[in-house]
Structure 1
């Protein structure tokens, strides 16, 4: 088989008529048609323009993501704090607490400003040494 047929005829209707008159059958068939050098140059130009546009959009995306991250961060922190509080049904606070030593029970209790016992533990030996201030103290229980 020859690599080319009808190339001596001008491109267009005459060449198509020659090929149709001399072929055995006409079929639709897919194949890889090479691009012309002009088409390749146009495609390369189009690719570079597309690359530049993609780069610009990615830079905008990066800037927008930084903005979204900055806006989301405090909300995420607040959500985590709220979820933690809901999970534990309490929050950790640092407040002024009042320490009471029960000499008879040998215990120490800490009360918040509302008068709620927030912690109790066994008293240390140095805490059990009575001072003048502790002798006549009213505890609000039996006096």
Structure 2
């Protein structure tokens, strides 16, 4: 079989000659080769499309960076809130009030709200009485 049918006839007349001489006409998909003008047109179109894509990608990167900058503090805050909800409270640094109960041998720490934060056994240093503990120990309830 020949690579080109009817090479001596003009391109416009080839289709009619193929129609007249074929056994059957079937629709099929295939790659049609470009001529040089079509190749040049496609290259120019590719250049134009590539420039547009590059501009849009730059714009997308700017928008993405802007949104990422705005969402980052929100994500951090959300994480902190989730941690607080898991712990059922928040971690704070505040003044606490230590109360030593010599009779029970226990030491407790209280928040400013009056809630016990921690309780533990007394340390040897806490077993030695100070003035406040001595005054508390000497109270009988009748001399207040």
User: Normalization by structure 1: what TM-score?
Assistant: 0.83
Distance 1:76 1:115 in 2: 34
TM superposition outliers: structure 1 runs of 4+ over 4 Å = none
Q: How many residue pairs get matched? A: 139
Deviation of 1:117 after TM superposition, in Å, equals: 1.1
Deviation of 1:133 after TM superposition, in Å, equals: 2.7
Closer, same or farther in 2 for the Cα pair 1:21/1:113, shift >3 Å? closer
Distance 1:71 1:55 in 2: 24
User: Normalization by structure 2: what TM-score?
Assistant: 0.82
Corresponding residue for residue 8 of structure 2: 8
Deviation of 1:108 after TM superposition, in Å, equals: 0.9
Distance 1:126 1:20 in 2: 112
Q: How do residues 16-35 of structure 1 correspond to structure 2 at under 5 angstroms?
A: 16-35=15-34
- C-alpha distance after superposition, 1:48-74 (max 9, x if no partner): 222222121111111111111111111
Q: How do residues 34-73 of structure 1 correspond to structure 2 at under 5 angstroms?
A: 34-73=33-72
- C-alpha distance after superposition, 1:82-127 (max 9, x if no partner): 2222222111111111111111111111111121111111111011
- C-alpha distance after superposition, 1:37-58 (max 9, x if no partner): 1111211221222222212111
Segments of 5+ residues of structure 2 without an aligned counterpart are none
Corresponding residue for residue 99 of structure 1: 98
Distance 1:122 1:82 in 2: 33
RMSD: 2.1
Segments of 5+ residues of structure 1 without an aligned counterpart are none
Deviation of 1:11 after TM superposition, in Å, equals: 3.0
Q: Are residue 124 (structure 1) and residue 119 (structure 2) matched? A: no
